Each structure stands twice: as structure tokens, then as C-alpha cells.
Copies of this chain bind each other. A is one copy, B any other.
Amino acid sequence: MDGFVVGGERFGSRLILGTGGAANLDVLERAIKASGTELVTVALRRINAQKASDGLLDVVARTGVRLLPNTAGCRTAVEAVKLAHLAREAFGTAWIKLEVIGDERTLLPDGVELVPAAERLVADGFTVLPYTNDDPILARRLADAGCAAVMPAGSPIGSGLGIGNPHHIRLLRQAVSVPVILDAGVGTASDAALAMELGCDAVLLASAVTRAEDPERMATAMRLAVEAGYLAAHAGRIPRRFHALASTPDEGRPDL
């Protein structure tokens, strides 16, 4: 599996890991390693960016992954833009996973706030990766605003419901030319494989790994599933048929 390019950077792995939800940093570190990821998201508020010895940053440094700060918890464009600037200072990166949440129950993104926030952050020099819904129209607006990728939810964050509307992910994939990263809703390996088969360039997940009973094992599963889905998407799958098609022709069969 050749890597994918987003924001001008090439990544060997098409799996992006969120760092929230892990029982402790040791579990997280092993999950990061097992997943093979090269990019992890991190919330500004969960670490003390001032302290050089902060544990999460140590894990990041040791594993050699790149940091993608997010604006988790923001409810308005203004909040998200402020938090993005704080994160840029704290982490020394202009990459930002832009989240503007519309609702505490669903944690679904608020498209109306998302677009101006994205426009502003692009203008401010950020590499913007917005968490969006599965709406192809909104995705194209975000791509047109200069976002480096679009990251549609498969289903609500932490729900483990997988991809609620595969048809919309396909439509969204057709609507933009920037990378599409499925973000949120993945519960198990087949969900991640399906995301890739639908044409996504990468998968971002957190709870599915960090809250699994065995995070390291699930991280390995997700690494393999993303590779499997990517390969299958590019191997020319057989068409779906209403009836059967024998794999074994009848000729040459012995008389019985």
C-alpha cells in the first residue's frame, strides 16, 4: 500500500489515531505502535503544553508520529479559530483538525459554523482538516474554502455504528478532489475496510481502539483492515449479481 498525501505531506499509513479514551499512556503507546499510524490527533486541553515533560507529548516523540491538534469541544467558529491559534503556538504546527460541534448528544458537526471557521483558518495559514458530516455539498464547500482534506463522520463519535450511509460517502467522494478521511463511528475492522472500499483515502478513529477491551489487538486489526480495504478498492472487485455464477465449469466432469 503506497502512502497518501495530505497537506503536502506523505504518510505511509492510511490510519489516523485519536488519542482520547485510552486507559493510560502506556496502553496508548502500544496502540499507536500496533496501529502503524504516523499521525495522531490531540486536544489542546488534555495536555499541558507548557510542561516539556508532558506524558502524551513524550509518547508522540517516542513513537515518531506527527501531531494533528484538534478543536474538540468548540461550539462556534469563533471559539474554534481561537483554539486553533492556541494550538499552533502550543504544539508548533499549523495543522489543525477543525471541529465545531452542534450538539452534545450527537457531537455532529455544525456546517454553518464550519465553513467560516475553515475560511478564516486557511487565510491564517493553517492546514485545515475539518470534521464534517456526510453531506457532499458541505464537503465541496469546505474543499473550495481551501481545506486540505474533508473528514466525514460515518456515524456519531464513539457510537461504534459504523458507516450509517455508505451511499453518501460515495457521493461525497465524487464531489471533491481533496483526500476524504472517514472520521467517527468506526466500531470494528470491517467498518474501516468498508470506508476504504467506498473510496476514502484514510480512516481516523479513536474510541474503537482506545476503548476496546484489548486496544493493542484492535489497533492491529484496524491497521490490517485499512490496508485490506485499500487493496480491495484497487483490485477491481467482481460485480454484484442477483443469481449465482459457478466458479467451476461443468466441462470435463466425470460421468457418475
Q: How many copies does the complex hold?
A: 4
A217 within 8 A of B: yes
Contact in complex: B234, A217 (CB < 8 Å): yes
- Of A57-65, A120-128, A202-210, the one touching chain B: A202-210
Interface size, chain A (Cβ < 8 Å):
103
Contact in complex: B193, A247 (CB < 8 Å): no
Contact in complex: B73, A250 (CB < 8 Å): yes
A229 / chain B contacts, CB cutoff of 8 Å? 189-190, 221, 225
Query: Chain A residues in contact with chain B, CB under 8 A?
Result: 18, 20-21, 43-46, 70, 72-74, 78-79, 82-83, 86, 102-103, 105-112, 115, 133-138, 140-141, 155-161, 164-165, 167-168, 170-171, 174-175, 187-194, 197, 206-208, 210-215, 217-218, 220-225, 227-229, 231-232, 234-254, 256
What are 29 A-B pairs with beta-carbon distances under 8 A?
A: A45-B252, A73-B246, A74-B256, A82-B256, A83-B254, A106-B171, A108-B135, A111-B111, A111-B112, A111-B138, A156-B171, A157-B244, A157-B247, A158-B247, A159-B245, A161-B167, A165-B168, A189-B193, A207-B238, A208-B237, A211-B247, A212-B236, A213-B235, A214-B235, A217-B234, A224-B224, A224-B231, A225-B225, A228-B228
